[in-house]
Amino acid sequence: MSTATTTDQVATDTWGGHQPLPQVESRNESALSVWAEQSLVQSKRLLIGWSRDPSTTVQALIYPALTLLMFHVVLGNSISAATGAPAVYGQVPMVMLVAAMTGSVISALGFKIEKATGLLGRFYTMPVHRAAGFTGRLLAEAGRVLVTSVFVLIVGVCLGFRFWFGPAAAIGMVALPVLFGIAFAVLVTALATLTEGILLVSVIGIISNLLMFFNSGFVPVYAYPRWLQTVVGNQPMSTTIDAMRGLAYDGPILNPLWKTLAWTLGTIVLFAYPAVRGYRRAAETGA
């Protein structure tokens, strides 16, 4: 018997009715287990795509590391001399948060591309949980911020950054920029559903620059003009930096931590609905 005949016979025995086809169990696409599983799949899809994009790697790793080195070389000694505290304990948290904000542009522009190419619409017509795309994107953002924060922290350790209060405080310090990044990602997603790409980048750039240059990571709050100190001391980036500095080195922890949680949770609550609504509208209509 020839090889072709044997192959045809095997195919006939397998698919011609001698052996039943495997039965796939029907799943409710709105079930919580399906939502969790498909959110992880969507997150993995985005993370793999970002890891294979050189520009994303530069934005997520190289740019924050060089920014930290620049701040340390140019301003580190003068800030330490003026404040009496090592500047690296303010610069490392600040760069982590700036990287979380600027890196969100990548996700926002990726969302725009997926909408323009119809990928969001194709997902919407498939048996996929309606919330999996949005939550998967937030999970991917959390993963990106975590990787960036750890990389920045490694560079900071080389520059003299140390943890003085044990592993639990270290974990809490690294978790804060992840929470901050998730809240900012919800804000950016809401903006991405309402603005065009160029305007979106400009808006995010303005927000990031204002928060970056008016916070307690550069210099203490008392170094700013008196009329600006209340704003600087209570803006979300300053409260997060203060909490991270307290967990790693010295300073209050509880008060800035509660303010940070209030800012992040408030941002999520305020912008979650427009973000979800806009995401769904983009998937349904491509608009």
**What confidence tens digit (pLDDT) does each residue in 194-210 have?**
877 677 778 888 888 88
pTM of the model: 0.85
Q: Which of 260, 243, 67, 208 is nearest to 151 (CA)?
A: 67
pLDDT one-digit tens code per residue, 119-154:
888 888 888 888 888 999 999 999 999 999 999 999
Burial class (CB in 10 A: 0-12, 13-18, 19+), 183: buried
The answer to whether 133 and 41 have CB atoms below 8 angstroms apart is: no
Burial class (CB in 10 A: 0-12, 13-18, 19+), 52: exposed
CA distances from 181 to 80, 115, 199, 265 (A): 28, 23, 21, 12
Write out residues in the chain with pLDDT < 50, as ranges.
1-15
